[in-house]
Amino acid sequence: MKNKHVNAIVVGSGAGGGVVAKELSYAGLSVVLFERGGWVRYAAHGNDELTAQRSFPLACFFGPDNERYRRVAVDRQGNERIVFPNDWAYHNNAACVGSGTVNYGAMGWRFMEEDFTMKSTYGHVEGSTLEDWPITYADLEPYYEKVEWEIGVAGDDYQNPFAPWRRKPHPMPPFPHNTEAKLLEQAAKKIGYHPFPIPMLRNSEPFDGRPACVHVRNCVGFACPVDAKNGTQNTVIPKAIETGNCELRIHSQVVKILTDSSGRAKGVEYFDRDGQKLTQTADIVILSASATETPRLMLNSATNLYPNGIGNRYDWVGRNLQGHAYCGADGLFEEEIYDDFGPGSSVAVCDFAHNNPGIIGGAMLANEFIKMPYAYSSGYRPPGSARWGREHKEFQKNNYRRNASVRGPVQEMPNFESRVEVAPNVLDHWGMPVAKISGFKLDEDIRTAEFIADKAAKWLEAAGAYKIWKNIPGTGVSGSQHQSGTCRMGNDPQTSVTDKYGRVHEVDNLFIADGSLHVTNGAFNPVLTIMALGYWVSDYIVKEWERGNRFQ
Amino acid sequence: MDRRSFLKVSAIWTGGAWIVGVPTLSANPYRELTDSEAEIMDALADAIIPPGEFAGGKDARVTRFIDQQIGRYGYLQHDKELYKTCLPALNKNSRDRFGAVFTELSEDRKEEYLKAIEAGEYNNQPTNSDWGSYTPSSFFNTTRNQCMMGFYGSPIHGGNKDYVSYRMLGLY
């Protein structure tokens, strides 16, 4: 079967790809948006914690499935093992329409100005490939604004003295605090921190035809029961489809980028839900498959012209894998502070995101989302606590409503050895080499995490916790839902994979629009930046297209 | 045969040929675990999550969760062999060591025994062949985690009967 040629192919319908599909189809380009998963609705999984995206001990309800997907995880000693999607070492994000934006916690952070200029702000860091972005906050600011108004963010950055400048306020008022967050807000003020409500990609009031949040506890890791959480699946993707220019092709696994004899991308090879191998051709191909799957696709598309994979002449594809070095502190309180008012996380401080004496970077700090019962049973207790038995059950019963956690996504220093490769001998269901993930955090990241965890502990102490303990991350490679950095943008083709518009250096009509582009991953959850880059990359493509450039 | 079993069996008989292997008429409600394995699992679940003001692992139907998940429609099929091997081994090892099978030990002795297993104290001993390719401590770690899933997870997976754990946490 031959598919009709289209103007653009977008691979992956998550934060980046959903935005690109909308922008290109609005500009009149014909688009096929590929998604390996399908539509996911709340009704099908409800409050089932064991398959939700937060801890998925049984399976990943939002995909991918354990039957067809594999990766290879490499530990610090170099031992390789095959891992399934619901193993932490797989570094899973979702595989469904909207991807992680269906089930995320939905924090809608703009990166700060310094997050784009880490090298010039902090200088060289031993062992790190730290670099400035080729674009600045000022370049991206209008696109952040577009995300906030088109996808929908509730917040009030004017309460945050460290917030980067902006032209327009958020379109919705910020979220109210629950009992725990109010307590932490007061405590923060007491010790000179500057608390403010977290910007959220979630409706604090009806927005764009969808209702306001109803404050359930099962929010992060779950789809929203009333569709008040804003992802690409309920905003830009339906809008793209409405134009009539965009076809969303679900349950379709793209396995290869096809190139012609001159090296241009001419389309993709994919398998449909019946396992049929098909081809789709296009004028432009945009990869938005995640910081793991985008480089995997490029590496799996080697040809005579691109013997090491597309865009990989200088061996930068798959390098610099980052997530965040999450750290923080937990505290126990005498009184009940739990009031079952979700999503739970709502108060933050940016006092320690930058400008920490002797520290490179830092992290914002925020209170944790509501912990579901199974998750609470396996963590969130002082070191050395009983893991089972009477004492464990008593701890659950006594402390579930008497605990608070503060967490911070420490900005990691990128390093060349943390990477995504392909494992030539381990094939997925479709016969393609799977992604192999290896690497580590630098000592610098752990040092920063210790500094930040200390600030979290002080916050809980001020709130009146009688017992406090810190969380310091291990040295293993990060990634998971904040995965980024594996096809960084840059001005020098020898030390980056794409130019500043996300165009792969060697291939004029091949673009990337996902977290892979991030040079550094900020002191914040990265999704708003991924969406903003979706608008940024699209804007370039559309402007070129409108002046007649067909990328040939 | 009680009335319920009778009705169940008749339904299978009249149901037609798609049933492969009619179950025996015992009261065992499980598909994968034998009576004896289920009894050990019940005792283990109660040791990991003891009964008290709120149900323990057994009454919260953690065993049903395990049985369902290691079965052909479950998510933990890969652990079926683990349970089939290690539950009997848990009993036999206890008899060798204490002169009584696990299910007959006092609550305190069960806890002491499981703590020793968890600490790896039984990982290197002459009777290890009873545990097949598994070590006692890795079995304990797996089942401890899965008991927590059965007790604190959604009842749709077979455990957490009547949302007992949610009620204990004040969520219902």
Interface probe with B: pick from A336, A337, A374, most Cβ of B within 10 Å:
A374
A1: in domain: no
Query: How far is the C-alpha of A518 from the C-alpha of A529, rounded, in Å?
Result: 9
Our count of domains for chain A comes to: 1
pLDDT band at residue B26 using 50, 70 and 90 as cut-offs: low
* Residue A428 backbone dihedrals phi, psi, to 5 degrees: -85, -175
Would you say how long chain A is, in residues?
552
Chains A–B, number of C-beta pairs less than 8 Å apart: 76
Position B17 pLDDT exceeds 50: no
Position B21 pLDDT exceeds 50: no
Position B156 pLDDT exceeds 50: yes
pLDDT band at residue B13 using 50, 70 and 90 as cut-offs: very low
Residues of chain A above pLDDT 70, percent: 100
Interface probe with A: pick from B44, B114, B165, most Cβ of A within 10 Å:
B165
Position B8 pLDDT exceeds 60: no
Tens of pLDDT, residue by residue over A502-549, are 999 999 999 999 999 999 999 999 999 999 999 999 999 999 999 999
How far away is chain A from the Cα of B78, in angstroms, using its nearest Cα? 11
Residues A448 and A360: beta-carbon distance below 8 Å: yes
- Structure confidence at residue A1 (pLDDT): 61
pLDDT band at residue A454 using 50, 70 and 90 as cut-offs: very high
Tens of pLDDT, residue by residue over A162-175, are 999 999 999 999 99
Q: Does B47 touch chain A (CB under 8 A)?
A: yes
Position B10 pLDDT exceeds 60: no
Q: Does B147 touch chain A (CB under 8 A)?
A: yes
CA torsion sign, B114 to B115 to B116 to B120? positive
- What's the burial of B2, exposed, middle or buried (CB within 10 Å: 0-12/13-18/19+)? exposed
How far away is chain A from the Cα of B63, in angstroms, using its nearest Cα? 16
- Per the structure, the complete domain to which residue A465 belongs is given by 6-546
**Which helix (H) or strand (E) is A278 found in, with range?**
strand A277-287
Q: Does B75 touch chain A (CB under 8 A)?
A: yes
* Distance set, CA A38 to CA A63, A147, A289, B146 (Å): 9, 24, 15, 29
Q: Does B109 touch chain A (CB under 8 A)?
A: no
Tens of pLDDT, residue by residue over A467-504, are 999 999 999 999 999 999 999 999 999 999 999 999 99
Least trusted range by pLDDT, from A332-336, A418-422, B5-9: B5-9
In this prediction, residues A335-358 reach a mean pLDDT of 97
Q: Which of A508, A505, A444 is nearest to A122 (CA)?
A: A444
Reading the block at residue A239, the tokens are: 């809008």
Residues B77 and B84: beta-carbon distance below 8 Å: no
Least trusted range by pLDDT, from A76-80, A81-85, A442-446, B22-26: B22-26
Q: Which of A474, A416, A419 is nearest to A445 (CA)?
A: A474
Q: Which residues of A touch B48 (CB under 8 A)?
A: 388-389
Position B1 pLDDT exceeds 50: no
Residues A321 and A487: beta-carbon distance below 8 Å: no
Query: How far is the C-alpha of A379 from the C-alpha of A431, rounded, in Å?
Result: 38
* Distance set, CA A65 to CA A59, A60, A61, A94, B155 (Å): 7, 6, 8, 10, 22
Position A128 pLDDT exceeds 90: yes
DSSP string, A82-101: EE-TTSGGG-----STTTHH
- Structure confidence at residue A510 (pLDDT): 98
Q: Does B163 touch chain A (CB under 8 A)?
A: no
- A50, A388, A397 member nearest B168 (Cβ): A397
Q: Does A76 touch chain B (CB under 8 A)?
A: no
Tokens 């739990």: give the residue.
Answer: A338
Give the three-class secondary structure for A103: helix
Reading the block at residue A350, the tokens are: 């940016």
Residue B153 to residue A376, Cβ atoms within 8 A: no
Reading the block at residue A489, the tokens are: 């943008």
What is the ipTM for the molecules in this complex?
A: 0.95
Q: Which of B50, B57, B53, B6 is nearest to B27 (CA)?
A: B6
Residues A441 and A325: beta-carbon distance below 8 Å: yes
Give the three-class secondary structure for A489: strand
- Looking at A314-410, list the stretches that DSSP marks H as alpha helix, in order from N- to C-terminal side: 373-377, 389-399
Residues A363 and A355: beta-carbon distance below 8 Å: no
**Closest residue on chain B to A395 (Cα):** B169
Position B4 pLDDT exceeds 80: no
- Structure confidence at residue B125 (pLDDT): 79
Residue B50 to residue A217, Cβ atoms within 8 A: no
Side-chain half-sphere of A285: how many Cα atoms within 13 Å? 28
- Which residues, at least 6 apart from A105, have a Cβ–Cβ distance to it below 8 Å? A219, A220, A343, A345, A369, A525
- Structure confidence at residue A2 (pLDDT): 75
Q: Which of A269, A273, A297 is nearest to A282 (CA)?
A: A269
In this prediction, residues A356-368 reach a mean pLDDT of 98
Query: How far is the C-alpha of A438 from the C-alpha of A218, rounded, in Å?
Result: 32
Average predicted confidence (pLDDT) for chain A:
97
A78: in domain: yes
Radius of gyration (C-alpha) of chain A in whole angstroms: 22
Position B20 pLDDT exceeds 90: no
Q: Does B76 touch chain A (CB under 8 A)?
A: yes
A15: in domain: yes
Angle between helices B107-118 and B80-98 (to 10 degrees): 120
A552: in domain: no
Q: Domain with A26 in it: what CATH number?
A: 3.50.50.60
- Which residues, at least 6 apart from B144, have a Cβ–Cβ distance to it below 8 Å? A387, A388, B48, B118
Position B3 pLDDT exceeds 90: no
- Structure confidence at residue B25 (pLDDT): 55
Q: Does B152 touch chain A (CB under 8 A)?
A: yes
**Which helix (H) or strand (E) is A326 found in, with range?**
strand A325-332
Count Cβ atoms below 10 Å from residue A546 Cβ, excluding itself: 10
Interface of B with A in 1-40 (CB under 8 A): none
Tens of pLDDT, residue by residue over B91-107, are 999 999 999 999 999 99
Tens of pLDDT, residue by residue over A428-441, are 999 999 999 999 99
Q: Does B165 touch chain A (CB under 8 A)?
A: yes
* Helix, strand, coil share (%) of chain B residues, nearest 5: 60, 0, 40
Q: Does A377 touch chain B (CB under 8 A)?
A: yes
Position A407 pLDDT exceeds 70: yes
Residue B165 to residue A387, Cβ atoms within 8 A: no
A551: in domain: no
Position A342 pLDDT exceeds 70: yes
